[in-house]
Chains A and B, each alone.
Chain A
């Protein structure tokens, strides 16, 4: 009877509102969640730019808008942060086995960084070819 009474009096500690400041990984998580807004804004910026490709005047105005240049300057470090954190987690998702041995996680991440570099170089090359 007594245990039954105690059971109803179990204590549940509320989660503090500043829980995300308690640990580095929590803070990094919140930073990822909030800064993705800039990644989204930059994606919208690129989509509108693509829509304007047949209207040279609007295209140029869109490129030269000071507000949008500021947006890109702000978004760039966040985009880099997201790219790097994304690639760093690829070994958690992609598990490759070579017989009994797991391909080292660092190798998986390194391969992604390598791929990112190659794709970036190709884009640079195309941009300067036609630029």
Chain B
């Protein structure tokens, strides 16, 4: 097929979209929509076309369309993807299957309930807790570029939850704190301005925290921001082990 044919305005691509409407059905169904094929369209553009032109009842989340807000994560042909960064041209001419993120309860169509993840972010205290609170008049908490480099990669997380949908451990054990929340806890633990690593330890260094992880490694593969949550969890395992032996062998030493 010549490139000009592929881009021609009358070609279409089929989307098989997961539908679940709790007020009218007990089970999900797949609904096929034929949308115009454009080389520069992403899956989210196609969903917006369906919503605007074909079927206004389709529900899904999206916001920024540029890989920053983390709202439009869905399963595209079984892979967790940001739909704003997944081009139709990579699947054309085959149909594309769109499903809600795996391992989360589905509220409606492609909209999942993310309360569990939000609750986990809160439990690991994924925010900066300064060692010593100082008044604004004393200025900012300063940091060298080397200190910034220690946690910068982990700070790129946009809470899109693709990593949870890639994690079979989370699928089997929903109590697992999981990839993103652990990476974000590490992000603050490694921040030179933060002083709350000990407060996070109870949740992170627990069985349902890092020790549940069996290092499948798929979370890192699917991360659209190269955060490497799998690395974050293994590094936290090392810190936990060091602390355990330090507490056992040198109980008098201050952490």
| Chain A partners chain B | yes
Interface residues of A (CB under 8 A from B): 2, 6-7, 9-13, 15, 19-20, 22-23, 25-26, 29, 33, 89, 92-95, 97, 99-102
Asked if A19 contacts B171 (CB within 8 A), the reply is: yes
Asked if A12 contacts B231 (CB within 8 A), the reply is: no
Asked if B106 contacts A10 (CB within 8 A), the reply is: yes
Asked if B149 contacts A12 (CB within 8 A), the reply is: no
Q: Provided the pairs A6-B107, A15-B172, A92-B230 are in contact, do residues A97 and B149 lie with their beta carbons within 8 angstroms?
A: yes
Asked if B216 contacts A25 (CB within 8 A), the reply is: yes
Asked if B146 contacts A97 (CB within 8 A), the reply is: yes
A-B pairs with beta carbons under 8 Å apart, 24 shown: A6-B22, A9-B22, A10-B106, A11-B22, A11-B28, A12-B106, A13-B28, A13-B102, A19-B168, A19-B171, A20-B168, A22-B78, A26-B216, A26-B218, A29-B214, A29-B217, A33-B214, A92-B234, A92-B235, A93-B234, A94-B238, A95-B235, A97-B149, A100-B149
Contacting residues, chain A, for B113 (C-beta < 8 A): 10
Residue interface mask B165-176, A partner, CB < 8 A = 1: 010100110000
Which residue from B23, B102, B168, B230 sits with its C-beta under 8 Å from A26? B168
Q: Which of B1-48 contact A (CB under 8 A)?
A: 20, 22-23, 27-28
Complex CA distance for A2 and B22, rounded to whole angstroms: 11
Closest residue of A by beta carbon distance from B107: A10
Complex CA distance for A29 and B234, rounded to whole angstroms: 15
| B191 sits at the interface (CB 8 A) | no
Closest residue of A by beta carbon distance from B216: A29
Which range contains the number of B residues in contact with the other chain? 20 to 34
Contacting residues, chain A, for B56 (C-beta < 8 A): none
Contacting residues, chain B, for A12 (C-beta < 8 A): 105-106
Asked if A92 contacts B228 (CB within 8 A), the reply is: yes
Closest residue of B by beta carbon distance from A11: B106
A contact face: mostly helix, strand, loop, or mixed: mixed
Interface residues of B (CB under 8 A from A): 20, 22-23, 27-28, 78, 102-103, 105-108, 113, 145-146, 149-150, 166, 168, 171-172, 214-218, 221, 228, 230-231, 234-235, 237-238
Closest residue of B by beta carbon distance from A33: B214
Contacting residues, chain A, for B171 (C-beta < 8 A): 15, 19
Complex CA distance for A89 and B228, rounded to whole angstroms: 12
Contacting residues, chain B, for A89 (C-beta < 8 A): 215, 217, 234
Complex CA distance for A20 and B217, rounded to whole angstroms: 13
Contacting residues, chain A, for B231 (C-beta < 8 A): 92-93, 95
Distance from B219 Cβ to chain A, minimum over Cβ atoms (Å): 10
Q: Provided the pairs A25-B218, A92-B228, A97-B150 are in contact, do residues A11 and B238 lie with their beta carbons within 8 angstroms?
A: no
Closest residue of A by beta carbon distance from B172: A15
Complex CA distance for A13 and B101, rounded to whole angstroms: 10
Q: Provided the pairs A11-B22, A15-B103 are in contact, do residues A102 and B237 lie with their beta carbons within 8 angstroms?
A: no
Complex CA distance for A23 and B215, rounded to whole angstroms: 14
